[in-house]
A and B are shown apart, each in its own frame.
Chain A
């Protein structure tokens, strides 16, 4: 497949550059939502790119049973080093889940959202899922509740979901075409039978679409997740995006397929590849004309705890939470103060962003009538919207695009390869090589500090390391560097060959 690459030959109005609604000074994919929806999602780390630097989430693994099989999932897996959906280390009872949630909320006051995401399908575990929600809405009313589902059981659960005041639901919709569905779902459990092939996919698709419509009717926010599977549903996801938007989903999250033989999944064993960073980005751009796209998803575990991209689950194992004595009323007061502080910081950031939008790229005799290409920059951050992480400590980078229209968030890229399990768990390649590969297509990497060795290797790869903006807000620093590149004539030159797509 031909990759669309951001380069100097391309006008920013073509796809792959700066497409449609995601374009402009705002990198916030929620910018054009109604105020009512914004109010609902502004402190939800999974729905707001801004919020995810500040607010944390957790999943409780109370839902082990599943009613379908997906070709990217293996129900046997449980590895503490794995980070991907469907994987958990410790299954919880609803009672343990409530205790854990309160313990995390008290210890990580930035935690605003509790989700039930598996490891099976939450709505195939109705009693365990709803008992957890029922108790939490009574005992910890300051926590938002959300749930994700494959959609098969959704229409029957909508009434109950509405009762528990759950205002966010995520449905994984990989296709609206049974032909394609049959290549993704080998079977479903439906009306007491195991149903296979196109017939199964057709039922699943109908139930997903019906569930989506029912949720929207009741004013429950719906996000749609799709797994991008090259050669199976990649092109088709543009249509999925259009349809789910038309039906009222407020956000679409296209995620890359994770498939390794070590995972023992159908796709992994059969050698189905996942998309490259660039293919994913191009598809997200192509969908963004029709839909608000989410680009900061970390595809976290069904028992993840903490900010997106981090997992503090180890601090809250069943043994440890049993030993904790949590005064939740006191915790709630502290949480309210901290949330207020973050809200103020976010409001401040919004103001700065508005100011940034007014910043014009410098013009003068030398730059008149010249088109400057957009530039991708990678940022090492440990949260707070700041450039505050050492290059060598980064397990992921946030990728931003600077252009004459401003700065927008593109995606995150993981450095570490997924755990390959068993005694073969080891370093496949040096972390440094992994970092550099993760940065393909970027021209600059911003971090708080960087060592001598990586500095040289990055330069060799055509990526300019930059530690001059340590502790500065990300977007402003990215814009500063972009302006500097224009001033120093960097953007007059053709983009170096090395920094083009290599991975």
Chain B
């Protein structure tokens, strides 16, 4: 089983540095997780490290394909507030 990184990744390198299994590699357009190497940090840490340091909501999915850090969980911005702000900006 493995976590995965999706396109909202901003390539900040944070996950690569903390992965105990060297499963993360630099790639275009964004960093990737080698599913063969990823252990979900079992045996090393209580939480998968990439998802623990990742600053971008929704960028890392767990083995089941669910967002480990859903919208609002890291920034504290309620998703509806973010949507409203973005809609206002786009309407300008």
A→B interface (CB under 8 Å) = 64-67, 69, 71, 74-76, 91, 119-120, 124-125, 127-128, 186-187, 189, 192-194, 261-262, 264-266, 268-270, 420-422, 424
Nearest Cβ in chain B — how far from A446, in angstroms?
Answer: 36
B→A interface (CB under 8 Å) = 10-14, 17-18, 45-47, 49, 52-53, 55-56, 74-77, 81-82, 85-86, 88-90, 92
| Separation of A436 and B10 alpha carbons in the complex (Å) | 38
Q: Are B76 and A71 in contact, with the CB atoms below 8 A?
A: yes
A sample of 29 inter-chain contacts (CB < 8 A) reads A64-B12, A64-B14, A65-B12, A66-B14, A69-B74, A69-B75, A71-B76, A91-B11, A120-B12, A124-B17, A125-B13, A125-B17, A128-B13, A186-B74, A187-B74, A189-B14, A192-B18, A192-B45, A192-B46, A192-B52, A193-B47, A261-B88, A264-B82, A265-B75, A269-B81, A269-B82, A420-B89, A422-B90, A424-B90
Nearest Cβ in chain B — how far from A163, in angstroms?
Answer: 21
Nearest Cβ in chain A — how far from B29, in angstroms?
Answer: 13
Partner of B89, one of A74, A127, A189, A422: A422
Nearest Cβ in chain A — how far from B71, in angstroms?
Answer: 12
| Separation of A367 and B14 alpha carbons in the complex (Å) | 65
Given contacts A189-B52, A193-B46, contact A262 B89 (CB under 8 A): yes
Within 8 Å CB of A120, what residues of B?
Answer: 12-14
Given contacts A91-B11, A269-B82, contact A75 B56 (CB under 8 A): yes
Q: Are B77 and A270 in contact, with the CB atoms below 8 A?
A: yes
Q: Are A64 and B85 in contact, with the CB atoms below 8 A?
A: no
Given contacts A66-B12, A66-B55, contact A269 B85 (CB under 8 A): yes
Chain A residue nearest to B92 in the complex (CB):
A424
| Separation of A206 and B12 alpha carbons in the complex (Å) | 26
| Separation of A319 and B56 alpha carbons in the complex (Å) | 29
Nearest Cβ in chain B — how far from A131, in angstroms?
Answer: 13
Chain B residue nearest to A120 in the complex (CB):
B12
Q: Are B56 and A76 in contact, with the CB atoms below 8 A?
A: yes
From B52, B55, B82, residue with most partner A Cβ within 10 Å? B55
Within 8 Å CB of B76, what residues of A?
Answer: 71, 186, 266
| Separation of A124 and B14 alpha carbons in the complex (Å) | 8
Partner of A192, one of B14, B49, B86: B49
| Separation of A122 and B49 alpha carbons in the complex (Å) | 19
- What 6 A-B pairs come out closest when comparing CB atoms? A65-B14, A261-B85, A64-B12, A75-B55, A189-B53, A269-B85
Nearest Cβ in chain B — how far from A75, in angstroms?
Answer: 4
Within 8 Å CB of B53, what residues of A?
Answer: 65, 67, 189, 194
